[in-house]
Amino acid sequence: MRTLVPFLLVLLAVYRSAAQQTLDEKVQNLIDLTSRTSVVKFNMDKWKNLVRMQPRNYSMVVMFTALSPGVNCPICKPAYEEFMIVANSHRYTSSESDRRKVFFGIVDYEDAPQIFQQMNLNTAPILYHFGQKHQGSKKKPEQMDFQRQGFDADAIGRFVADQTEVHIRVIRPPNYTAPVVIALFVSLLLGMLYLKRNSLDFLLNRTMWGCVCLAITFIFMSGQMWNHIRGPPFMINNPQTKEPSFIHGSTQFQLIAETYIVAVLYGLIALGFIFVNEAADMTKDKKKKEKNPNSILSLISVPANTLAIIGLVFICIFFSFLLSVFRSKYRGYPYSFLFA
């Protein structure tokens, strides 16, 4: 027993020194860790050793995130992907000396909730830069402002360049999904054409072409391109009353729901006009029925008068509805029709 205590002490000392690696060992350790994957996945041990322990002559860029599906964090996944793009670019394109200066790491809440507690964090994702630290200097880690800078790979690269003066050329792996989808679509189309090669009449079908062109105009006139570029929410809930609102009250913004409403309204007005015109053509249609069964209205036998009136009602109701939607956005517009 008496001999055992000093022995244990010696053992402890050996263990301690092993844990307190020298700088070179730490860097070597990190390089080993990042030789296969480009980011270090931290647990408490590594965290203490490589990030918290001083001294450090390298920078750690660490993303705190929660990737497990149980945690409700919709932006963690995209942020993580962007972060990985930067880390991979760093691994493959940066010079040897640069790679010894900057390392990328990740802390998942599931793996190490203690680190989150230690850092006093309760949101994710967060990107910290732990700069070179020598004994004694107490500098807080720099946080990247996702609100302002965004979290795409270029912004992260810029943040790293700002902080460490290591410039990473961000190389995005090319996204093959769009070309593949287009190629599939085109081949499907061509295949269908090939299968139907004996009856290509539908290509000459004007109704079909008309519908395609009209759909294009309705899509663009209802501002779907704006939606595509700006990505607004489908609808918003009023924070006070919790009532959902489909129409945004400003001319500079729009919700997806309201653009659908507008597209449908435009379509119904155009349909109304077409009804009115077809009603006037009714008599012609009757005679031509045998010859030209293609006409849309030849199938339904509605009296011309009724059809004309239906068309007119369509035009009036839906145009005034469109006007009132417009008025609800454009404050102070004085004119309305039928309803306010």
Partner 1 sequence: MTSTASSRSSRVGATTLLTIVILALAWFVGFASRLFAIVRFESIIHEFDPWFNYRATHHMVQHGFYKFLNWFDERAWYPLGRIVGGTVYPGLMVTSGLIHWILDSLNFHVHIREVCVFLAPTFSGLTAIATYFLTKELWSPGAGLFAACFIAISPGYTSRSVAGSYDNEGIAIFALQFTYFLWVKSLKTGSIMWASMCALSYFYMVSAWGGYVFIINLIPLHALALIIMGRYSSRLFVSYTSFYCLATILSMQVPFVGFQPVRTSEHMPAFGVFGILQIVALMHYARNRITRQQFMTLFVGGLTILGGLAIVVYFALVWGGYVAPFSGRFYSLWDTGYAKIHIPIIASVSEHQPTTWVSFFFDLHITAAVFPVGLWYCIKQVNDERVFIILYAVSAVYFAGVMVRLMLTLTPAVCVLAGIGFSYTFEKYLKDEETKERASSTASNAKDEKLYDKAAKSVKSKNTSDGEEAQVSSNVRTIIAIILVIFLLMFVVHATYVTSNAYSHPSVVLQSSTQNGDRIIMDDFREAYHWLRENTPEDARVMSWWDYGYQIAGMANRTTLVDNNTWNNSHIALVGKAMSSNESAAYEIMTELDVDYILVIFGGVIGYSGDDINKFLWMVRIAQGEHPKDIREENYFTASGEYSTGAGASETMLNCLMYKMSYYRFGETRVGYNHQNGYDRTRGYEIGKKDITLEYIEEAYTTENWLVRIYKRKKLPNRPVVKETTIPIKGKKVSQGKNKKGVIRSAKA
Q: What is the contact surface with partner 1 in residues (CB under 8 A)?
A: 145, 147-148, 154, 206-207, 209-210, 213-214, 216-218, 220-226, 228-230, 251-254, 258-259, 262, 266-267, 269-270, 273-274, 276-277, 279-284, 286-287, 303-305, 308-309, 312, 315-316, 319, 322, 326, 329-330, 333-335, 337
Q: Which CB, 30 or 61, lies closer to partner 1?
A: 61
- Closer CB to partner 1, residue 53 or residue 271? 271
The rounded distance, in Å, linking the Cα atoms of 224 and 263 is 9
Helix 256-288 vs helix 304-329: angle between axes, to the nearest 10 degrees? Answer: 160
222: tokens are 């209802």
User: 315: helix, coil or strand?
Assistant: helix
Q: How far is the CB of 247 from partner 1 (least distance, A)?
A: 10
Instruction: Name the residue nearer to partner 1 (CB basis): 79 or 262.
Output: 262
Report CA-CA distances (Å) from 172 to 80, 98, 181, 288: 14, 20, 19, 61
Question: Cβ closer to partner 1: 21 or 328?
Answer: 328
Give the nearest distance from C-beta 51 to partner 1 in angstroms. 23
C-alpha dist (Å) from residue 267 to 33, 52, 225, 232, 260 = 60, 63, 18, 23, 11
CB of 162 to partner 1, least distance (A): 8
Instruction: Report DSSP state, residue 45.
Output: H
Residue 7 vs 330, nearer CB to partner 1: 330
Torsion angle defined by CA atoms of residues 279, 281, 282 and 285, in that order, rounded to the nearest 10 degrees = -150
Of 23 and 225, which CB lies nearer to partner 1 in the complex structure? 225
> Quick one: 69 or 339, whose CB is closer to partner 1?
339
Q: Among 28, 23, 172, 170, which Cα is nearest to 99's?
A: 28
Kindly state the smallest distance separating residue 18's Cβ from partner 1, in Å.
Answer: 37
Alpha carbons 236 and 256: distance in angstroms, whole number: 10
The gap from C-alpha 73 to its chain's centroid, in whole angstroms, comes to 13
State both tokens at 102. Answer: 């900057």
